[in-house]
Amino acid sequence: MEDLPKSIVTGNSAPRIRSDCKITFELTSKEGILIDLHSKVGSMYGASIRELLMGELEFFGIRNAKIVIEDSGALPFVISARLEVAIKSLIRTEKEFLPVMLDENLYQSSRNRFRFSRLYLPGNTPNLMLNAGIHQPNGVILDLEDSVAPDKKEEARYLVRNALRQVDFMGVERMVRINQLPAGLDDLKFVIPHNIHILLVPKCEGPEQIGELEDEINKLEPGREVFLMPIIESALGVEKAFDIAVSSRNIVAMAIGLEDYTADIGVRRTHQGTESLYARTRLVNACKAAGIQPIDSVFSDVGDQEGLRKAVMNSKSLGFEGMGCIHPRQIRIIHKGYSPSDEEIENARKIVYAYKKATEQGLGVVSLGTKMIDPPVVKRAQKIIELAVDMNILRENWLEELMETK
């Protein structure tokens, strides 16, 4: 059996680090617990921090240890996650030191929920999680994959688990991007039991990966409905997009990751996007055929607001229904871009009204002014109206009210 180390360091500490802590944990031969706390808020919260540490040590049955903690304003769920990782690096135990699940975090999601924006939050950076809900993206993604350094993956799992229980995300959809399979299977026990709404499946290249993932989910919580969003990031994934999209009823959306895709085909990603046009349109077509939402890649230049606006307009014109974002300042532009404009809504109202009148009069042809309206045009207008109603831009009984005034 492999010998376990006697000491370990977890967490983060640096001049610019906020809402985190660094813990140096050592098992000693001397009976008793020694806590060496360094914190700017020690005078106010030192006693509660020590109480938390002692309670967790008692929970795991540890009676002789030395802890040096460098605190930069970490909340209790962060401190307990950092300590739990340290403890489990030095002893073998299956116990979990779970913080209380907030009542505010027990809400559910739905299959057709808006997913215009999803905000990526690095899974090992707690300060970015704390107020993410204030910005009101449609979803927050606690990321365990690319934004987490390889040697910090285990720490991120515990931090994400605790954040799902303790951070109030204010009603937005709760998402986690797991690691690429098969490593991502090890992430599941840290997120599935804690009211996760959507799992993002990175670098998905075939339906067999979705099957493997769902088998593991069912082992953890039989019958638990967890929505899935595969991310297509390779040439092979693009070619298998439709097979992936229809591989499970729990897939509600599919996204494309252009940084990895362009690297895979050996080209540079550009703002014009000509190098990825085939992949993006193929993904949109696969999603529309499967009846799920196509989600575009992130726009990586946080400072280029005009470039983002143009990218969203282009994305919407291709049929995408949302986009990832890496900074809160991108959310407003993304929401505005994917929402139906006043002009679109007004035009759709006229088309649907004209269709309703023609149907009531038994007419086989629908016209608006001098223009004939084909069924696909009516269908598109109805989708715009449904979206406007769902977003509370239009009243649900708008057509009845309009009919009464005409």
Q: What is the pLDDT of residue 364?
A: 63
Is 96 part of a structural domain of the chain?
no
CA distance 162 to 82: 10
Residue at 256 is within a domain = yes
Q: Do 119 and 212 fall into the same domain?
A: yes
- Say how many domains are in the chain: 3
Same domain flag for 69 and 114:
no
Q: Which helix (H) or strand (E) holds 359?
A: helix 342-360
pLDDT at residue 171 in the model: 95
Does 314 share its domain with 356?
no
Instruction: Give pLDDT, residue 1.
Output: 44
297 and 234 in a single domain? The answer is yes
In 3D space, the residue among 213, 244, 385, 237 whose CA is nearest the CA of residue 297 turns out to be 237
Tens digits of pLDDT across the chain (406 residues): 456 668 999 999 988 999 999 999 999 988 899 999 999 899 999 999 999 999 999 999 999 999 999 999 999 999 999 999 999 999 999 999 999 999 999 999 999 898 999 999 999 999 999 999 999 999 999 999 999 999 999 999 999 999 999 999 999 999 999 999 999 999 999 999 999 999 999 999 999 999 999 999 999 999 889 999 999 999 999 999 999 999 999 999 999 999 999 999 999 999 889 999 999 999 999 999 999 999 999 999 999 999 999 999 999 999 999 999 999 999 999 999 999 888 889 988 888 888 888 777 776 667 777 677 877 788 888 888 888 887 888 888 887 877 777 6
CA distances from 96 to 158, 174, 326, 370 (A): 10, 22, 31, 69
Same domain, 274 and 243: yes
**Has residue 68 been placed in a domain?**
yes
- For the chain, what's the residue count? 406
Residues 6+ apart with CB under 8 A from 205: 234, 236, 237, 240
Domain final residue pick, 338, 355, 375: 338
Look at residue 1 and tell me if it is in a domain.
Answer: no
Backbone angles phi, psi at 37, to 5 degrees: -100, 130
Q: Where are the alpha helices (DSSP H) in 148-293?
A: 153-166, 188-191, 207-220, 235-239, 241-245, 258-265, 277-290
- Pair (298, 174) in one structural domain: yes
Domain-located, residue 333: yes
CATH number, domain at 67? Answer: 3.30.230.10
| Sign for the pseudo-dihedral over CA of 60, 65, 70, 73 | positive
Q: Where does a domain end: 64, 90, 116?
A: 90
34 part of a folded domain: yes
From 39, 68, 90, give the residue that closes a domain: 90
Q: Where are the beta strands (DSSP E) in 110-242?
A: 117-122, 139-143, 173-177, 198-201, 227-232
Question: Do residue 353 and residue 232 come from a single domain?
Answer: no
Residue 178 belongs to what domain range? 103-338
User: Any bridge partners for residue 281, and if so which?
Assistant: none
pLDDT at 363: 67
Inside any domain, residue 123 = yes
Q: Tokens 């026990």 belong to which residue?
A: 189
Of 283, 281, 285, which is closest to residue 314 (Cα–Cα)? 281
**pLDDT for position 365:** 66
* CATH code: domain of residue 205: 3.20.20.60
If asked whether residues 68 and 151 sit together in one domain, one would say no
161 inside domain? yes
Q: Say if residue 255 is in the same domain as residue 115.
A: yes
How far apart are alpha carbons 133 and 123 in whole angstroms?
15
The model carries a pTM of: 0.90
213 lies in the same domain as 283? yes
Task: Residue 195: name the closest of 63, 106, 80 by CA.
Answer: 106
**Residues 44, 131: one domain?**
no
Q: Going by C-beta distance under 8 Å and a sequence separation of 6 or more, which residues neighbour residue 151? A: none
Q: Are residues 23 and 72 in the same domain?
A: yes
Residue 289 token pair:
């055929």
Distance between CA 362 and CA 366 in Å, rounded?
10
Burial of 185 (0-12, 13-18, 19+ CB in 10 A): middle
Contacts 24+ apart (CB under 8 A), 394-400: 394/345, 394/349, 398/349, 399/352, 399/353, 399/356
Q: What is the pLDDT of residue 4?
A: 64
C-alpha 306/C-alpha 113 separation (Å) is 27
3-class DSSP state of 10:
strand
**Beta strand pairing status for 371-372 and 367-368?**
antiparallel
Instruction: For tokens 């739905």, name the residue.
Output: 110
